[in-house]
Structure 1
Amino acid sequence: MLEIEQLSVSYGRIQAVRNISLKVESGEVVTLIGSNGAGKTTTVHAITGVIPAQGSIRYEGKELCGLSAHQIVREGIVLVPEGRRVFPRLNVEENLYMGAYASKMGSAERDQEMERVFQLFPRLAERKTQLAGTMSGGEQQMLAIGRALMAKPKLLILDEPSMGLAPIVVKDIFDTIRQIKQEGLTMLLIEQNAMMALSVADRGYGLEHGEIVFSDHVENLRDQDVVKKAYLGK
Structure 2
Amino acid sequence: MLEIRNLNVSYGSIHAVRNLSLEVKQGEVVTLIGSNGAGKTTTVNAICGVIPSKCSILYQGKDIIGQPTHKLVEAGIVMVAEGRRIFPKLTVEQNLHMGTYSRKAGKGELKQEMDAIYAMFPRLAERRAQLGGTMSGGEQQMLAIGRALMAKPKLLILDEPSMGLAPIVVKGIFETIKTIKRQGLTILLIEQNAAMALSVADRGYVLEHGEISHHDTAENLRSQDVVKQAYLGH
Both structures adopt the same fold (TM-score exceeding 0.5): yes
Percent identity over the alignment is 71
2:179 partner SS: helix
Instruction: Give the corresponding residue for 1:105.
Output: 105
> How many Å separate the matches in 1 of 2:93 and 2:174?
23
- Per the alignment, in what secondary structure is the counterpart of residue 5 of structure 1? strand
User: Cα RMSD over matched residues?
Assistant: 0.6
Q: Which residue of 2 aligns with 1:141?
A: 141
In 2: Cα distance, 1:212 partner to 1:98 partner: 35
- Structure 1 unmatched ranges of 5 or more: none
Following superposition, the deviation at residue 103 of structure 1 comes to: 1.4
What residue number does 1:121 align with? 121
TM-score w.r.t. the length of structure 1 is 0.99
User: Residue 163 of structure 1 aligns with which residue?
Assistant: 163
Number of residues paired by the alignment? 234
Match of 2:72 in 1: 72
User: In the aligned structure 2, how far is the partner of 1:178 from the partner of 1:119?
Assistant: 15
Instruction: Give 1:5's aligned residue.
Output: 5
2:36 is the alignment partner of 1:36: yes
CA displacement at 1:15 relative to structure 2? 1.2
Instruction: Indicate the residue corresponding to 1:56 in structure 2.
Output: 56
CA distance in structure 2 between the aligned counterparts of 1:111 and 1:9, rounded to whole angstroms? 41
- Partner of residue 208, structure 1: 208
Unmatched tracts of structure 2, length 5 or more? none
Q: Distance in 1 between matches of 2:97 and 2:225?
A: 46
Q: Distance in 2 between matches of 1:105 and 1:212?
A: 40
1:169 maps to a residue whose letter is: V
* Residue aligned with 2:157, SS: strand
Deviation at 1:63, TM superposition (A): 0.6
Equivalents in 2 of 1:11, 1:206: separation in Å?
A: 21
Using the alignment, how far apart are the partners of 1:154 and 1:105 within structure 2?
A: 17
- What code does the residue aligned with 2:152 have? K
| CA displacement 1:156-175 (0-9 Å, x = unmatched) | 00000000000000000000
Cα distance in structure 2, aligned partners of 1:222 and 1:170? 19
Q: CA deviation at 1:142?
A: 0.2
SS in 1 for 2:188: strand
Q: Deviations over 1:13-42 (max 9, x none)?
A: 211111100000000000000000000000
AA of the residue aligned to 1:181:
K
Q: Distance in 1 between matches of 2:94 and 2:201?
A: 31
3-state SS of paired residue (1:22): strand
TM-score by length of 2: 0.99
Question: Which letter maps to 2:63?
Answer: E
